[in-house]
Chains A and B, each alone.
Chain A
Amino acid sequence: MTNHEKQKLKDSLFSVIGYIATFSGLLILAYFLIDIFIDGFHRIDIDFLTGFPSRKAENAGIFPAWVGSVWILGLTVIFAIPIGIAAGIYFEEYAPKNKITYILEVNIANLAGVPSIIYGLLGLEVFGRLMGFGGSLLTGALTLTLLILPIIIVATRESLKAVPQSLRDASHALGATQWQTIWYQVLPSSMGGILTGTILALSRAVGETAPLIVIGALAYVDFIPNSPMDDFSVLPMQIFNWTSRPQQSFIINAAAAIIILLAITFIMNSIAIYLRNRWQKKIQW
């Protein structure tokens, strides 16, 4: 076999491996979804979505839980995305490339590895007690923001890094300031990658339980939050609570709640993916 033919063979082989790997991933996802749908889909009805927790599984609903999840997602987005992107921009575009910056880089990767429950302890002390926000949505959102910030920052940095320096140089040559260059040239080009990071980060946030339990998220709440200072519950908490009950009917409730949680995540991801697709289309160089 000629070298060329050998390469072609390896190429095709890899293609097959790639297909298998990708489809394995999708297969596992399909397994999850089908399994959970079979268990829980029939339980979902308007009463379930607008009902409150109850000791009787048939009467129990997830109204406070899913509204809480949406609230906390919204608040976290408001805090985490601007701050995360800003920090990423600073590290990549402004910070001098010295030892301190290097240490800060390692530091951010560290923060990505701190268990979420420790963020809960931090959030409880700083936001809950020190700043007096108590066990509110605000505390929860700020805590989750800190938790997911590293992912957004890292994704932002990497996207910014991928923009060729020539683009920046050309912009400066035309008289633009540093910020103008970033805002009009660099950032739009890197939005795709930034959005990926955001998607992954928010997906993490929406499924977190442990830190929220620590800061004071509730398992039973008989009202819907009206403001960021209200107490709250979230879907993962309700799910975790129900899976630990003896009655089998609660397990079914949990499966139904998981479907709703995945649905919320899916909607959120879809918005970001749509934005990502629109942005990445624009890049031609």
Chain B
Amino acid sequence: MKTINVFFISIFALALVSCGGGKKEQSSGNAQLEGTITIDGSSTVYPITEAVAEEFKKIQPNVRVSIGVSGTGGGFKKFGRNEIDINNASRTIKAKEIAACDSSKIEYIGLTIAYDGLAVIANPQNTWLESITVEELKKIWEPAAQGKIMKWNQIRPEWPNKEIHLFGPGVASGTYDYFTEAIVGESGSSRGDFTASEDDHVLVQGVASDMYGLGFFGLAYYEENMNKLKLIGVDNGKGAVKPSLETVASKEYAPLSRPIFIYVNKNAAKREEVKSFVEFYMKNVSVLSKDVGYIPLPDSLYTKELQKFQDFIK
């Protein structure tokens, strides 16, 4: 049957193509390392780690890096079972996860790698809101507000007598946890009647198309959609501050700048390629995090974190 032959030949050809490796580049300088580094965890931290891996490949083309996105929780689970070398985490490790590492005899270190600024956003047609205090945010978002705080003028009487339409990340996300902890005082504590979505694009769309919309999400999403949104200053008692590269890094924009982390397995870090990767990470993430919309720590902090790591693996 000729057609069957054609079929098998094309499959064979496809297989040949697939078996050819990726591009091999000439490396400059450093000793050629080999090995595999397995990373998993938060999809928030992922873009930064991807950027680092991309640049790392240029100087160490023979090291295979693979990055999954099972979520901070999923990543920690794998981390605790010694299945991955590094976990991208948008929050610190929690008690149950620490216990899992202990029982697997895993020693680890958590390194802060960047800040994720949380921007409070309104619609460009919103003429009354320029800045908001943390207390006012709390009043809007706390659990007691559900069904009760429904209109703008309940916060400040000079604001319109119209409904507030709230948008925010899904309740299983680290962003939500951080926001509620910083604003309401307890992680996971908020009203339930807001439009929640894991997809920040949806939140952008929601606020951009609703004059009475008010939402919060990662600064990067504001910066990519500046012409559709209005950035609101947050007043933490020292005057209204709008999030930017400078104000988040200097911690002037508070409390809505959250640190994000990577957790490294000690045994893994003893491998040359992993050690090299993490050091490369800490030395370059300042520039790379900006590329993907996050905010670098002050240089002094990076030096400290790097030192922390090097001390850890001695």
Contact = CB atoms under 8 A, between A and B. Distances in A.
Interface SS, B side? helix
Contacts of B54: 53-55
A245 interface: yes
Given A244-B200, A245-B47, A271-B7, A218 B218 contact: no
B57 interface: yes
Given A55-B51, A222-B53, A244-B200, A71 B69 contact: no
Interface stretch (B11-19, B149-157, B241-249, B270-278): B11-19
Given A246-B221, A246-B293, A70 B18 contact: yes
Contacts of B51: 55
B57 A222 contact: yes
A226 B20 CA distance: 8
Contacts of B147: none
B162 interface: no
Given A244-B201, A246-B225, 5 more contacts: A71-B18, A220-B49, A222-B65, A223-B64, A247-B293
B109 interface: no
B7 A224 contact: no
- For the complex of A and B, list the 9 residue pairs with the smallest distance between their C-beta atoms, beginning with the closest: A220-B67, A55-B51, A246-B224, A246-B220, A246-B221, A219-B69, A218-B66, A67-B18, A220-B50
Contacts of A244: 43, 199-201
A52 B58 CA distance: 13
23 contacts: A54-B54, A55-B51, A55-B54, A56-B291, A64-B22, A134-B83, A214-B70, A218-B68, A219-B43, A219-B46, A219-B50, A220-B50, A220-B53, A222-B66, A224-B19, A226-B21, A243-B199, A246-B224, A246-B225, A247-B224, A247-B293, A271-B7, A274-B3
Interface of B: 3, 7, 11, 14, 17-22, 38, 40, 43, 46-47, 49-51, 53-54, 57, 64-70, 74, 78, 83, 199-201, 218, 220-221, 223-225, 288, 291-293
A91 interface: no
B160 to A, nearest CB: 30
B66 A221 contact: yes
A55 B288 contact: yes
Contacts of B49: 220
Contacts of A220: 46, 49-50, 53, 65-67
A202 interface: no
A192 interface: no
A65 interface: no
Contacts of B69: 213, 219, 241
Contacts of A197: none
A48 to B, nearest CB: 14
A164 interface: no
Interface residues of A, number: 36
B83 to A, nearest CB: 8
A63 interface: yes
Contacts of A74: 11
Contacts of A245: 47
Interface in A187-240: 213-214, 216-226, 231
B67 A218 contact: yes
Nearest to A232: B66
Contact of B50 (A55, A134, A213, A217): A55
Nearest to B61: A222
A277 to B, nearest CB: 12
A63 B22 contact: yes
Nearest to B288: A55
A216 B14 CA distance: 24
A2 interface: no
A219 B54 CA distance: 13
A243 B199 CA distance: 9
Contacts of A222: 22, 53, 57, 64-66
